[in-house]
Amino acid sequence: MAKSISSVGVIGAGQMGAGIAQVAAQAGRDAVIFDVAEVALEKAKSGIARRLDRAIEKEQISTADKSAIEGRLSYTTKLADLGGSDFVVEAIVENPEVKEKLFQDLAPHLSKDAILASNTSSISITRLAKASDRPERFIGMHFMNPVPVMELVEIIRGLQTSDETYQVTKELAENMGKKTVLAIDGPGFIVNRILCPMINEAIYLLQEGVQPDDIDQAMMLGTNHPMGPLTLADFVGLDTLLSILELFHRELGEDKYRPCPLLRKYVEAGWYGKKAGKGFYTY
């Protein structure tokens, strides 16, 4: 039996971090959410309240359950408040240098035995582990968006990740109601290695003149995908998607991973997708 986790820290209160904190609290863990932006914390809090209200409406939880879940969640802009967490999941912007700097700043505050997991979509876990003070207690724990709905968590072991760290992470993910797969520590792991080139190809088709709705309808009606690739790109975030594809192109070194120039233009314009109110569609 691996060590039990009673409190989870989440770094980054964006679309992923808010969802991870919610499922941790629903699984009975205390969850502290840290972000540098106060407004992100407020948005996370109201988003969680809205989703719990929806669960009450659908008679999945009671009003008392909602209060108990909200009572287990706390929000902070101070890294030191993560000191009481047994397990910390990082879900900040998809940029290796920014993540490495965060792990260095975090080190003095973390408890000695705490496990540190990254929700990165594509960056090497071995590389991020090296920037932490605990490579054997560092792991990739890749949730899918939207976290409360999607069943999968990919687990990625870095070169130095210990067996115990893997076991604790797998048990925690299962306890949050997720199924896990073990991926390799290579660009994009499993899901994004397959998904992101497909989305990139859809953006090339758009650049070549196919209408967005025709692209999305084709994949929804033709392959039973729940969302078309351009809608999914907006949902993931075009800034995140571009970072993933740039990393693929750089590290896998093949032209087939070249990010579509139109994607780069949209990111330059600040059209990051749903979270920004505009991407391939307007929200």
Catalytic positions: 121, 142, 154, 192
Choose which of 80, 98, 210, 227 interacts with ligand NAD (CB under 6 A): 98
Choose which of 237, 248, 263, 266 interacts with ligand NAD (CB under 6 A): 237
Query: Concatenated DSSP letters for 49-77?
Result: HHHHHHHHHTTSS-HHHHHHHHHHEEEES
* Min dist. Cβ of residue 268 to ligand CAA (A): 20
What b/e sequence results for 70-81 when a residue is b if at least 16 CB atoms lie within 10 Å of its CB, and e otherwise? eebbbbeeebeb
Alpha-carbon distance values, 78 to 88, 102, 111 (Å): 14, 12, 15
* Min dist. Cβ of residue 106 to ligand NAD (A): 9
Nearer to ligand NAD (CB atom), residue 56 or residue 93: 93
Contact 132, 160 (CB under 8 A): no
Sign of CA dihedral 96, 102, 107, 112: negative
Strands (E), 47-192: 73-76, 87-90, 115-118, 138-143, 152-157, 179-183
> Is residue 227 within the footprint of ligand CAA (CB under 6 A)?
yes
- Output helix, strand, coil percentages for the chain, rounded to the nearest 5: 55, 15, 35
Nearer to ligand CAA (CB atom), residue 114 or residue 241: 241
> Is residue 185 within the footprint of ligand NAD (CB under 6 A)?
no
Nearer to ligand NAD (CB atom), residue 57 or residue 268: 268
* Min dist. Cβ of residue 209 to ligand CAA (A): 26
Nearest residue to 155 via CA among 99, 89, 243, 94: 89
Choose which of 3, 6, 46, 54 interacts with ligand CAA (CB under 6 A): 54
x/- letters, 176..215, toward ligand CAA (CB under 6 A)? ---------------xx--x--------------------
* Min dist. Cβ of residue 119 to ligand NAD (A): 4
> Is residue 95 within the footprint of ligand CAA (CB under 6 A)?
no
* Min dist. Cβ of residue 45 to ligand NAD (A): 12
> Is residue 199 within the footprint of ligand NAD (CB under 6 A)?
no
Instruction: Report the chain's C-alpha Rg in angstroms.
Output: 19
**203 by DSSP, 3-state: which?**
helix
Number of residues in contact with ligand NAD, rule: CB under 6 A?
27
> Is residue 233 within the footprint of ligand NAD (CB under 6 A)?
no
Chain position carrying tokens 């290796």: 96
> Is residue 223 within the footprint of ligand CAA (CB under 6 A)?
no
Choose which of 5, 8, 11, 156 interacts with ligand NAD (CB under 6 A): 11
Phi, psi of 114 (to 5 degrees): -60, 145
* Min dist. Cβ of residue 148 to ligand CAA (A): 5
> Is residue 18 within the footprint of ligand CAA (CB under 6 A)?
no
Chain position carrying tokens 């991020």: 128
Question: Interface with ligand CAA by CB under 6 A: which residues?
Answer: 51, 54, 58, 121, 144-146, 148-150, 191-192, 195, 226-227, 232, 236
